Amino acid sequence: MKIIHTADWHLDSKLNALPADKAKERNVELLQNFKRVSDYAAENGVRAILISGDMFDNKMCLKRTSSVIVSTINEHPDINYYILKGNHDKDNFLDTLEEKPENLFTFGNKPVTYEEGRVCITGVELDDENVDLFYNTFNLDAARVNIVMLHGQEADSYTKDKAEVIPLRELKGRGIDYLALGHIHAYKEGELDSRGIYCYPGCLEGRGFDECGIHGFVRLDIDENNKISRTFVPFAKRKVYEIEVDVSHLDNSEDMLDSVRKSLASYSEMVTMAGSNYEITAPTGSDLVKVVLTGEVDINAEKDLTYILTSIKDDYYFAKIEDKTILHVEPRDYSLDESLRGEFVRTVLKDDTLSDEEKAAIIQCGIKALTEGKV
């Protein structure tokens, strides 16, 4: 039996990292993922889709969003959808649907167990009221294959009245085979006890530059001996990259652009998820890229961020650039400079009340003012 585990789609979120038109478009793409995942499930004989919370960014979502969700569920009567609410989407529309699809299963503040063939799927939405009771009384039939859905931040031990913290220690020895978690936006897994494991699939698709890397869902395959194997399935339509480019000692925008282009083209990173290795290759035209310039750049260097960004931005779905370079000032160069410029640099450099970053910022500003007549 095949089951998909996903979480944290955050549909209809603000997507502040993007300009308004792209944010609108991305929200549609994120919603279309519901159809794409459902089609994948249908094509691959997946019996159930588990969404472990924060499917929506808010308790209210657009009418368009709710209608696409409901019609997609109705179009796939052979797939069962198990949708748990998270801290972002408490009281979402699914519980109050006038005509709830028969293949949609939701959860509440008491643990509910649904039988999916040989597998028991149990979920509960924890809050400050029910959290103590849940950990004190939670029980499963250890003779069954048990998947448990919860939403929250895993922690070693119990923090009182913190419904958003999941104390893994409290869930040991309770007969859980697979703890299907949501809340953390990057893939994470670990051992729960001698029997079970816990897993965060991460968000299905990166939405901002804090969600870089490979995103997708976890596919569980449960064999006739009730052994669960996991596969991470990369599924995001677009990838998000933050790539640092060291432009130390380059003295003009064209050379920096060249260095940026080379860094982007040769980008490669290996990651391991659910026991398999994945390579994150160079960004392509469908991806979102943030270039971060680093290194020490000489005070006299010519560096124009607009020039660099404008030269690469059409190569990607969206690109931005951030300057984290440190200004390199050679005090020697100014020791004999009798101009106002030399006097200014010497004064700043010997001021012990300033940090190195402050000195660099003041010198950069001052030199610009002295040479160009403006800041």
* Binding interface with Mn ion (CB under 5 A): 54, 86-87, 183
Residue with smaller CB distance to Mn ion, 85 or 290: 85
Residue with smaller CB distance to Mn ion, 120 or 124: 124
Tokens 């039939």 correspond to: 141
Q: How far apart, in whole angstroms, are the C-alpha atoms of residue 297 and residue 252?
A: 10
CB of 343 to Mn ion, least distance (A): 56
Q: How far apart, in whole angstroms, are the C-alpha atoms of residue 191 and residue 219?
A: 18
DSSP 32: H
| Chain centroid offset of residue 44 CA | 26
AA letter at 350 = K
Burial zone of 218 (CB within 10 Å; 0-12 exposed, 13-18 middle, 19+ buried): buried
Which residue from 103, 61, 65, 108 is spatially nearest to 84, judged by alpha carbons? 108
CB of 88 to Mn ion, least distance (A): 5
AA letter at 250 = L
DSSP 97: -
Residue with smaller CB distance to Mn ion, 101 or 167: 167
Residue with smaller CB distance to Mn ion, 86 or 213: 86
CB of 153 to Mn ion, least distance (A): 8
Which residue from 96, 130, 98 is spatially nearest to 112, judged by alpha carbons? 130
Are 34 and 247 within 8 A, CB to CB?
no
CB of 51 to Mn ion, least distance (A): 12
Residue with smaller CB distance to Mn ion, 152 or 175: 152
Residue with smaller CB distance to Mn ion, 111 or 202: 202
CB of 107 to Mn ion, least distance (A): 15
Q: Is 280 helix (H, G, I), strand (E, B) or coil?
A: strand
**Strand ranges of the sheet holding 228-234, from the earlier edge strand across to the other edge:** 104-106, 80-84, 46-52, 2-6, 216-222, 228-234
Residue with smaller CB distance to Mn ion, 101 or 152: 152
CB of 86 to Mn ion, least distance (A): 4
CB of 348 to Mn ion, least distance (A): 46
Element (H, E) at 69: helix 63-75
